[in-house]
Each structure stands twice: as structure tokens, then as C-alpha cells.
Amino acid sequence: MVFSSLTFLLLFLPALLAAYFVCRKLWWRNAVLLIGSLLFYAWGEPVFVLVMALVSLFVYLGTLAFSAAKQTAAKKALFVLTLVLSLGALVYFKYAAFFVNQLSPLFGATAVMKTPRLPIGISFFTFQAVSYAADAYRGRVRVQRNFALLLLYVSCFPQLIAGPIVQYADIEYELTERQTTLDDFSAGMRRFATGLCKKVLLANILGEMLAELPDAGASVAAAWLTSGVFALQIYFDFSAYSDMAIGLGRVLGFRYLENFNYPYISRSVSEFWRRWHISLGKFFREYVYFPLGGSRKSRHRTTLNLLFVWTLTGLWHGASWNFVLWGLYYGVLIALEHGALKYAMKRTPKAIGIFLTLIAVLFGWALFYQPDLASCARQALAMVGVTMQGGAPAFAALMDETTLHALRTYTAFPLIACVLSLPILPAVERKMQHRLRLQRTAHLFSTLVLTLGVVLSVMNLVSESYNPFLYFRF
Amino acid sequence: MRRKFTFLVTLWWVILCGALGACLLLFANPEPVVSEQENRTLAGMPALTLDSLRAGGVGESFESFLTDKFFLRSDIVDETTSLKHLFSVLTLDELLGEEGEETFVPTLVLPEQEGKTEAIQTQPEEPADIDEAPEQPDEQQTALPAGESVDVVLTHADGTEDTLFTYSKEDLQTTADVLNAYAALLPVGGKLHVLLAPRAQTVNKLALHTDTESGWSSDVEPALQSLVSSNVAVHSAYDIFRGPILSGEYVYFRTDHHWTARGAYLAADAMLKSAGYQTIPLSDYGETTIEGYLGSIYLHGRNAKLKELADEIEVFHPLLPADSFRVSNAYKKNELPVIDESQTNYLVFLGGTSGPYRVLEGGYHTGRNMLLVCDSFGNSIAPFFLPYYDEVYLVDFRDEYYSRDEARGGVKDYVRRCGIDDIYVVLSEPNGIGSQYLTRLMPTNID
């Protein structure tokens, strides 16, 4: 099920909240939440509920087994087995076909493996399960002996499908001890409404604009606009989902960590990744980069670690060379920022730093957005003003008619999105909150804006058809 | 106090949403229905069985049901699109130039009608004499102007010109090959007439700007004529419409990409006159009018600005010698009226396109039959051929309407069986030159 759907807004959410708050005891609330979460997932992918349940079961049994093991070697072996089993589904559904098809020609095989249908959100719930197993192994969290509670952690519907990747340690306490105050309820729903507006009124419309743009190699403007509009679309789409997840979590008594922090004002690529999909960065940092030695070893080893982690990050987003290169691209940039460019970065003025980072990110989105390497190369070349004509390089046109038409059709939306991707509104809100007289006005104003936003979002949903989130495919 | 207010507002929203959802489930029509305004079928409630749930996809179907059957949906859709367009700087002219959406024809569920089902195979075979092949163009004749491309040009009042379209020699040759293949099917004395109709998006560049534009010209038709057999006559829509447009005749819709029935009449009239017929003046036809028509160009973007240019549909009723005027599929006589008065859009003409082959039976006895190879432009022109032919057969090869399985026979057999004397090819220009659609016309669907 999708948050930005009438099924969710008009049926699932009111029914779930009613059932949830009718229950007074946490045990019952957890039961309602677990059943609701399984229904939420099963609505779109009924068969794949079993995959999620199996992954949870492997982790549950595995953690029980290695926590009971007396010898370190046995404990380690059981931990590795748990990881292998819990990652098995992810590897099969997401990567097996890619690797088999890449490697089979090397062994003279001609058969092609068909990519199986990907269970929605498998990367997210698998990583949550794995993070729990790793934390339990390291003794950071207590082993959960109640399977229903562990399943609730993995399947909890607000963050089930597109994150944020919630670590077990962050909600361990809330699984058994939590409450929702009036403030939590209101603030959570406001956050949810904010996310809904971002998704429906900005991301979806930017997606429409993107669909109207020509092939990114058509002109310099088309190439830059494709990257720019996609950058805004994916930001508003994914951060909207995180807003909705965090908001719903708060309504239900969970406090999830922030997943985005205005990434497009970053002064460096490293900073960009500290502001973009924060929970994924945290996961790779804690469970891959640090165990490899992080930056505490030699300079070469640090570079190797970075490249390895970023290749994995690319692969996490999808099994294709585009994503691998996208990951490596960031790995190289971050390695450079940590190494050769370290001192130059420090002396670079803030505005120039932001500008250069933005350029680097926009080139990165070309890799991410395009379906294959050829289209990606075409876009990257057009971004620097080059096009290939009959195998020979030539100057690309600055503007083409289709791009101009798309710009004239959606004129204001990219501009509004640009403004909203900067931390201007929070700054205004903070300023108003500091003045007592303005507090009430600010509150009323934001309530009105959100109410209008929700009305417009519902109107837009009625006018549109199915509109899944971009990060569902990961 | 403020905290309570915020909580109450939030709670009110949740309750409102729940109440709306419950009402939708209880009161929304669970059956799929055709929306004329939206030009499509609105989704019905999907079957929530164990099997359908297991197969997946129910979620999306259910969401479609909720959105399609939402209360006041049509108004909401209109308001939403109007609001979106507030953020756009497109001018009215640009909107009129946008792609149109083909008018949707709902799938007709027709009752089995015993005795009315008539297989075309039961018609007597009239072997056509096709031994004498018409003269093919020679190499000298096929020479194109220098540059090997031809243009359609719009002339401004100040004498300057803008090129509207440019077609390559290859594009024209592909069209010519198709036309020659059809021409070769005709019996001796049979003629193939071709008219490639510009769409309203092109025509209105002149029709709505007669103060700044003075006319147009097209090199396409002479170039095409040089590539086709001697029994093919290529007619220029640009020549036919120039005069009427400049004198203010309403020959094309503004919010729809088709010509009006008046425009269709002018095209039919020109082709029939060139074939030697004495034609019936338009004033002899009975006329009704449908007001406030918003066509395919409006439906594409639903831009509220276009509402002020809403069209009217002039409907000219066929001249009937008998009152049993029907459109039939080649294999089933489906009792569709030539003018479908239940429709308030372009579907009024023949009720839209349905089935691979259709035939209009005029009840006249002229001794001649014709085949109209067309797209939707054919629907409004076909009735004007009725007084001159016993039967007007129609073939529309577009993917939505034609499949080899359904047709159960190629055009070649069809032409022979139905005793076709003349063929008229009436296609919109983008379908007629340089389009994938042409491959549907050739060659396997002919044989």
C-alpha cells in the first residue's frame, strides 16, 4: 500500500488509528499494529509477506541460537549463518540474475536468468533485520525472545517499505514501553501531512515534467534540466516518505531518527551524504565501514574501504552497472575529499563549495536516473555541451523545443521546489517562534497552509492514478 | 488551548477521511461506467477473492476504483488541472497546438442477434478484373525537388514564411508504395483518391490568425503524385481548405484535432468532383448542432483556458432513400447508426471506430462500391460518400481497432469479395506520411 493513496488515507489509516487507540493496553496496541502492518504489506504483495516473515524468523532463530552458544567460534559461526540466511532472499531477488547473467558468459554459458519480481522494500526490511542481528551479536541490544515483537520491529508499516532504516536499538525500549500524547498525535499528523503535500503536490508533478522532457542528449538545457528536475523529484519523493514515516511513527509512539537534512545546501559531497538518506549512511558506516577499519588504518586502506562501502551503497540501490558506477563515483569523490582535496576544501568559500557539490551531485543523478550506460554517457556529454553525431563529437544545441515546452508548461513548479529544498521555511518559523506575538499567527498560518495542502493533495490523488514512491523499487 | 485546537483539527481530519472512505465503500457505484467527459471507462470495484488477492494487483485496481468513483470526481479533476495550469505560462496558441487524444470508443457489448449476423463470405463473389495493371511511375517522374525533401509552408501577411512540416523522399516513397499497392488491387477504371488531412493543430495556425497569416502551400501532394500510379489522384487538403478558411468557414474544430463535418464535406466534395460526380450541396442536408464541445486537445491537458474556445459540432444527417440506415461490421450487422445521437462529441459520427471492417449501406443503386481506408477522420467523411456508392466500406488499421485475427481476411480478398470499384485513402497527415501506422497498411494486411 502507498501512503499517498486514497486506500491508505481514507480507509486504512482511519481504521488502524481507531483500532489502535481504542486499545488501552500496549500488548493489544502492538497486536493491532502487527496485524495492520502485515495487511499493509500484503495489500500490494500478498505472497511476499512470507519472504518478510521468513527473514524475520531466520534472524529471530539465529540470534537465539548464537546468544545461547557458549564458545566464541560457535557464536561467530551461527552469526555468519544468520547473516547468510537473512541476506539470502535479498541476494536472490535483487542480485542473483544480475551476477549470473554477468558471469555466465565467462564460463561459456548462454542461458539467461530472468530477474524475479522484487518484493517491495526488501532492501529496507532486510537491512533492519541484519542490523538487529549484528547489534545482538555485539551485545548492543538484548536478544528479543518474543517473535511477534521482532516481527513488529521489521514489519512496522510506517518505515516498512522505504525507510528510514530504523535500528533496533533506537526503538527497543518503545516496543514495550511507549505512549502517545496529544502533542505527539498532532505533531505526527502534521508531519505526515507535510510529507503528503511534498509527495503529491511537488514530487508527482515534477515527475510529470520529467516525463515530458526529451532524451537528455537532445540539448544542453535538456541534459541539465533532466538532472535538476530529477534531483528535486527524488528529494521531495523520498524525503516525503521519510516525513510520513516519521510522522506516523510519532502518532504511534515511536521516535524515528531524521533521514534528510536539506542535502542540497551541502558544501561537500561527504556532507551531502551526511544529509541525504542519513539512515542508510549510518547503516553502512556502522556495519561495514567501521568493522573494516574505517579511517583508522593506513591512507590506502581507508581509500579502499571507502570505495568498497560506496560500491555496496550503489549496489544496494539496484543491480545494474549504473548503480555500481554511481556508488563508485561517490566513493572516489569522498576519497578525494578525505585525501588530496582535504586542504583545498577547507579554504574554498562556502558558496563555491555548495555550487561545486551541486554540480557533482547533478552529474551523479545522471548516472542514477538513466536506464543504461549509453544514455548516461549521452546525458553527461550533453551536460558539457557535446553530442555525438555519426560517431564524431559535435557541439550540442543549447535548447530544444520539447524542453522549452516542458519548461513553459511547468514553469513555477521547479522554482517552488528549489525554494522549498532550502531551509528557508524552518528559518522563518524559528524566527516567528522567538517572538511571542507572532507565535499564534505562525501556528494558525501553518495549520491553514497544511489544511489547504491536504485538500489539494486529495484532489490531486483523485485526478491521478497509482503513484508509487521512487524508493519502492529499492 | 492551542494544543487542544491543533489536536481537534487533526482529529477532525482523521474522522473526515474515515467517513469519506466509508461513504465511498457504501455508496459508490461498483460497476465500471463510461465517462464521456474523461473519454475513458471509469474503474469498477475489483473482485476481492482469495485468488485475485494472491495474484496481486488488487491494490492498484482498488485504488483506481476509489479515485474513479470519488464524489464529484469530474469537478475535482477539472479544478485540479485548472489550478495546475495557473503555474504554467503556456499561451492559448501553444495549448491549441498540443497533441490531442483519440476519442475513446467504449467496448460495445452487443447481444447475439440471430439472423442479423451475416458473414461476408455469403456475399456473391464478383471476380474483379485486375489483369491490366495501371501504369507505374518511371524514374523520370519520381524526381523530387532539389534537397530531396518537401515542405508545407505557412505564409504570413507580411510575405515571410514558416515551414510547418518537412518530409523526406523516403517518407514519401513509403506512402507512395502503400498507395500503389492499394491501387493495384482495383479493377480497370477504378481510381484511388488520396487526401492527407492536416490536424486542427496545424490548420488553426491559419484559421485562428487570418489577421496575421495569409495562407499556406504544400509541395507534398505534387511530389507524392509523381511517385504513384496513374490511377491514383492525390488531393491537397491545403488547397481545398485555403479558400474556405480565409473566408471564415468553420472547417476544423479548435479544441479537437479533427475536421468538422463541414470540413469533411468540403474534402469529400473535392474528391468526388474530381472523379466526375455532380455533388449534392451541403445545404440539402438536414442539420443539427451540439454546443459546448471540448475535444481531444482539451482532454489532453484539460486546460481551463481552452473552455472559452469550446466548439460546436455541426451534424449533417445523411440523405436517406430509406429509413434503415445502418453501419455494419463486415461480419456482424451491429445496428449502429450513422449519426449516433446519443453522443455529444466526435463519436456522433458513426459512433466512433469499431471493428476491423465496417460498411455503410446507402440504399442507393449506383452500381458502384467504394472502400475508405481511413483513421478517425474517415468517420465524419464517410456519410458524404453515400449518395454516390451503393456501399461504403471502411477499414481502419490502427492498432486499437484492427487485428489480423479479428479481421479474418486481408484487404485484397475484401476488395474482390465486396466488388470495390474505387478506393479513398483519407488519413490525418501524421498517420499518412512517415508513420509506423503505414506499416499496418502494408503488405501483409493487404494479402
Alpha helices of B187-260 — where are they, by DSSP H? 200-207, 220-225, 237-246
Q: What is the mean pLDDT of chain B?
A: 80
CA distance B71 to chain A (A): 9
B27 reaches A (C-beta below 8 A): no
Q: Is B81's CB within 8 Å of A463's CB?
A: yes
Half-sphere exposure of B313 toward its Cβ, with a 13 Å CA cutoff?
22
Residue B338, pLDDT score? 85
- Give me the count of residues in chain B: 447
Q: Is A46's CB within 8 Å of B53's CB?
A: yes
Residue A117's pLDDT band (cuts 50, 70, 90): confident
- Verify whether residue A277 is a known catalytic residue: no
Query: Nearest to residue A404, comparing CAs of A201, A219, A150?
Result: A219
CA distance A154 to chain B (A): 22
Nearest to B66 among A1, A6, A18 (CB): A6
Residue B250 CB burial class (10 angstroms; 0-12, 13-18, ≥19): middle
Q: Is A462's CB within 8 Å of B59's CB?
A: no
Q: Give mean pLDDT, residues B128-143.
A: 49
User: How many whole angstroms separate alpha carbon A246 and alpha carbon A255?
Assistant: 7
Q: Is B59's CB within 8 Å of A447's CB?
A: no
Residue identified by cell 448542432 is: B289
Single-letter code of the amino acid located at A256: Y
Write the pLDDT tens digit of every residue in A189-223.
Answer: 999 999 999 999 999 999 999 998 998 888 999 99
User: How many whole angstroms separate alpha carbon B153 and alpha carbon B202?
Assistant: 11
B6 reaches A (C-beta below 8 A): yes
- Identify the weakest region by mean pLDDT among A249-253, A305-309, B88-92, B156-160: B88-92
B157 reaches A (C-beta below 8 A): no
Nearest to B66 among A10, A185, A463 (CB): A10
Distances (CA, A) of A111 to A97, A102, A107, A114, A236: 11, 11, 11, 10, 41
Residue A18's pLDDT band (cuts 50, 70, 90): very high
User: How many whole angstroms separate alpha carbon A434 and alpha carbon A426?
Assistant: 12
A113 reaches B (C-beta below 8 A): no
| Chains A & B: contacts with CB separation below 8 Å | 118
Nearest to A5 among B13, B25, B63 (CB): B63
Write the pLDDT tens digit of every residue in B216-267.
Answer: 999 999 999 999 999 999 999 999 999 999 999 999 999 999 999 999 999 9
Write the pLDDT tens digit of every residue in A405-458.
Answer: 899 989 899 999 999 999 988 888 788 777 777 777 877 888 888 899 999 999
Write the pLDDT tens digit of every residue in A121-137.
Answer: 888 899 999 999 999 99
Nearest to A447 among B6, B54, B81 (CB): B6
- Identify the weakest region by mean pLDDT among A332-346, B26-40, B183-197, B384-398: B26-40
Q: Is A7's CB within 8 Å of B59's CB?
A: yes
CA distance A434 to chain B (A): 17
Residue B110, pLDDT score? 36
For strands B311-317 and B286-293, give the pairing: antiparallel
Residue B314, pLDDT score? 94
Nearest to B63 among A7, A412, A447 (CB): A7
Q: Is B6's CB within 8 Å of A6's CB?
A: no
Write the pLDDT tens digit of every residue in A343-385.
Answer: 888 888 999 999 999 999 999 999 999 988 889 999 999 999 9
Q: Is A409's CB within 8 Å of B90's CB?
A: yes
B62 contact residues in A (CB cutoff 8 A): 7
Percent of chain A residues past pLDDT 70, beyond the cut: 98
B92 contact residues in A (CB cutoff 8 A): none
Residue B125, pLDDT score? 37
Residue of A nearest to B16 (CA): A10
A412 reaches B (C-beta below 8 A): yes
For strands B232-235 and B286-293, give the pairing: unpaired
Helix/strand/coil (H, E, C) string of B253-322? CCCCCCECHHHHHHHHHHHHHHCCCCCCCHHHCEEEEEEEECCHHHHHHCCHHHHHHCEEEEEEECCCCC
Write the pLDDT tens digit of every residue in A237-284.
Answer: 999 999 999 999 999 999 999 999 999 999 999 999 999 999 999 999
Q: Give mean pLDDT, residues B358-376.
A: 85
Q: Give mean pLDDT, residues A155-166.
A: 85
Q: What is the mean pLDDT of chain A?
A: 89
A409 reaches B (C-beta below 8 A): yes
Residues in CB range of A294: below 8 A, 6 or more apart:
A285, A302, A305
CA distance A44 to chain B (A): 5
Half-sphere exposure of B195 toward its Cβ, with a 13 Å CA cutoff?
30
pTM over 0.80: no
Residue B135, pLDDT score? 58
Residue of A nearest to B83 (CA): A456
Residue B424 dihedral angles phi and psi, to the nearest 5°: -115, 125
Q: Is A462's CB within 8 Å of B79's CB?
A: no
CA distance B147 to chain A (A): 20
| Selected residue with higher pLDDT from A287 and A113 | A287
Query: Which residue in the list A277, A317, A338, A443 is annotated as catalytic?
Result: A317
Residue B309 CB burial class (10 angstroms; 0-12, 13-18, ≥19): middle
Residue A34 dihedral angles phi and psi, to the nearest 5°: -65, -50
User: How many whole angstroms separate alpha carbon B120 and alpha carbon B264?
Assistant: 29
CA distance B180 to chain A (A): 34
Domain boundaries, chain A: 6-178, 184-267+348-463
Chain B contacts in chain A segment 18-37 (CB below 8 A): 18
Q: What grid cell was written down for B395?
A: 477499414
A472 reaches B (C-beta below 8 A): no
CA distance A433 to chain B (A): 14
Distances (CA, A) of B383 to A158, A248, B236, B389: 60, 62, 21, 10
Q: Is A6's CB within 8 Å of B90's CB?
A: no
Reduce the DSSP state of residue B402 to 3 states and report it. coil
Write the pLDDT tens digit of every residue in B12-38.
Answer: 888 888 898 898 888 888 888 766 566
B67 contact residues in A (CB cutoff 8 A): 6, 461-465
Residue B37, pLDDT score? 61
User: How many whole angstroms separate alpha carbon B434 and alpha carbon B166?
Assistant: 10
Q: Is B62's CB within 8 Å of A465's CB?
A: no
Chain A contacts in chain B segment 53-72 (CB below 8 A): 53-54, 56, 58-60, 62-64, 66-67, 70
B4 contact residues in A (CB cutoff 8 A): 182
CA distance A279 to chain B (A): 29
User: How many whole angstroms separate alpha carbon A442 and alpha carbon A82?
Assistant: 51
Residue B124's pLDDT band (cuts 50, 70, 90): very low
CA distance A10 to chain B (A): 4
B89 contact residues in A (CB cutoff 8 A): 408, 411
Query: Nearest to residue B392, comparing CAs of B432, B363, B349, B430?
Result: B363
Residue B235's H or E segment, with its range, is: strand B232-235
B74 reaches A (C-beta below 8 A): no
* Bridge partner residues of B216 (DSSP): B154
For strands B391-395 and B369-374, give the pairing: parallel
Nearest to B77 among A13, A409, A463 (CB): A463
What's chain A's Rg over C-alpha atoms? 23
Write the pLDDT tens digit of every residue in A291-312.
Answer: 888 778 788 888 899 999 999 9
B48 reaches A (C-beta below 8 A): no
State the best of A1, A3, A11 to mutate against chain B, taking most chain B CBs within 10 Å. A11
Residue A39's pLDDT band (cuts 50, 70, 90): very high
Percent of chain B residues past pLDDT 90, beyond the cut: 29
A1 reaches B (C-beta below 8 A): yes
User: How many whole angstroms separate alpha carbon B144 and alpha carbon B173?
Assistant: 10
Q: Is A451's CB within 8 Å of B9's CB?
A: yes
Rounded to the nearest 10 degrees, how much is the dihedral formed by the CA atoms of B440, B442, B445, B447?
A: 180
Q: Give mean pLDDT, residues A93-108.
A: 86
